[in-house]
Structure 1
């Protein structure tokens, strides 16, 4: 979606959620749409209605930081939304693209996540594609994929695509709606920073076409930088476990991050994670056997 269309969509969405009475705006006459009118928002931001209209229509690419901050305050945007507004209103110049090469995790990054041992870890690209995972990260998130799948760009797993289109991944999350909302909000933020990313646009288009749930969430224009929190799993091998996650951005590789999971010390989740770690090393099952259980979605190393 073009950046100026994204900007218009975002500003209209945020105007619609503000009730005039809540910001001291007296309402005259019937309102055709909910929320503030353009001229009312412009007055709150201290800019002319004409200027704000041009901004919302994507016709003011040189808007100053002061103006954007004033609009953000008038819309009561949080920190992530404010950054997103700046990204959309003042997009980075399109980069001259060289012939693309498959994105791969660095050797040092792979060594790092493998050395984490009992900590599930995944290296993600800017589009949430899996560039690498350690043994425990693999069996926690996608044991039904081949362990070496991230090394093959043609069928590389993508956590967001899996969340919406893979029934096994959907079953993995006890609070799927919460996880889906978080994924879309994070993808929105990345899309604002990478307006010229063709592959990202294709992913968004694919998910919009194939998943009505993704389309509905995307239309709400959620924005959130999801770097920490709790994920609630229902794993086919070890059952229920709640894990904290941290996403660490790699400073010299924009858009890439290492996603790691941990359990509260002494908790049932820690015991389940340790059991899963032993299974990942032994290729076994929670019942002590070494033959994978029957049925799709329950095998640790089946290629999807």
Structure 2
């Protein structure tokens, strides 16, 4: 089943209302005990300068053709960031054409693969739609997992993070990694809501146990940009790495992720040891 835009829109807006407090925004207090945290619909409508009925129709997804002015007002009232604002627009004013069709199979350019291979001292990989890992270099395989030993359909970060026990042990704060991964996946699902491969992946993860459902229910959204993770690697032990993400200009659904390490740190030594181990232990290519 494809992502239900109307249900997703309502859940997204309710989750963003829940994180706001009327006393922090200078709103008058409505009488009665609150049954849920955060702003009521009436309060959000007042803050956005729209009628209560208009906002209710938006949250209930009665139509998916709201004006730019209304969406801008609601986004400002909810204090959405740029990623959340884009998600709101895609849900409330769905794009036509390729945004609604099954996305084509992604292919990594040979030149990009050569770039990965030439960065021998930098763990780097290319991630595509649905958090699929499309290409990688040996050091990325040594750090995360031997992608080449996996079937193509299993080279997926969300599947690995939630279903692979080795990944749970690899990340010092697995819960934070799981939350980030779900946030990346939710953003991607909003960009390609009718892609059956997205629906298949979500169904598989949902059936895997309660943990994915708990993380997914947080309704977090995140674009992969930069950050850092701490690893407890089975070969070299603790290693603290940052990462930087570069979107491909001619295919924004592909991103090059490269890890960084602080010069002179213990993690730099560990990364060098890992690179030496990779040259000896992992197959080339």
TM-score normalised by structure 1 residue count: 0.86
Q: CA deviation at 1:62?
A: 2.3
Q: Calculate the aligned-residue CA RMSD, in Å.
A: 1.9
Match of 2:206 in 1: 208
**CA distance, structure 2, for counterparts of residue 116 and residue 211 of structure 1:** 38
Matches within 5 A, 1:156-171: 156-171=154-169
Is 1:10–2:9 an aligned residue pair? no
Q: CA deviation at 1:94?
A: 4.7
Match of 2:192 in 1: 194
Listed one character per residue, the Cα deviations across residues 107-153 of structure 1 (whole Å, up to 9, x for unaligned) are 1111110011111111111111111111111111103x5x254xx53
**CA distance, structure 2, for counterparts of residue 97 and residue 200 of structure 1:** 12
Check the 8 A contact 1:185/1:224 in 2, yes or no. yes
Check the 8 A contact 1:229/1:246 in 2, yes or no. yes
Match of 1:292 in 2: none
| Greater helix share, structure number | 2
Is 1:140–2:138 an aligned residue pair? no
**CA distance, structure 2, for counterparts of residue 102 and residue 190 of structure 1:** 15
Check the 8 A contact 2:182/2:220 in 1, yes or no. yes
Matches within 5 A, 1:109-258: 109-143=112-146, 145=147, 147=148, 149=150, 153=152, 155-258=153-256
Structure 1: runs of 5 or more not aligned: 284-299
**CA distance, structure 2, for counterparts of residue 93 and residue 67 of structure 1:** 20
Match of 1:265 in 2: 263
**CA distance, structure 1, for counterparts of residue 9 and residue 104 of structure 2:** 31
Match of 2:83 in 1: 80
**CA distance, structure 1, for counterparts of residue 224 and residue 28 of structure 2:** 34
Check the 8 A contact 2:101/2:195 in 1, yes or no. no
Residues 65 and 97 (structure 1), Cα distance of their counterparts in 2 relative to 1, 3 Å cut: closer
**CA distance, structure 2, for counterparts of residue 30 and residue 224 of structure 1:** 33
**CA distance, structure 1, for counterparts of residue 216 and residue 154 of structure 2:** 23
Q: CA deviation at 1:102?
A: 4.6
- The correspondence for 1:280, drawn from 273, 278, 281, is 278
Matches within 5 A, 1:36-47: 36-47=39-50
What SS does the corresponding residue of 2:144 show, helix, strand or coil?
helix
Q: CA deviation at 1:22?
A: 2.1
What SS does the corresponding residue of 1:208 show, helix, strand or coil?
helix
Listed one character per residue, the Cα deviations across residues 196-244 of structure 1 (whole Å, up to 9, x for unaligned) are 2211122112111213111111112111223100111111111100001
Q: CA deviation at 1:192?
A: 1.4
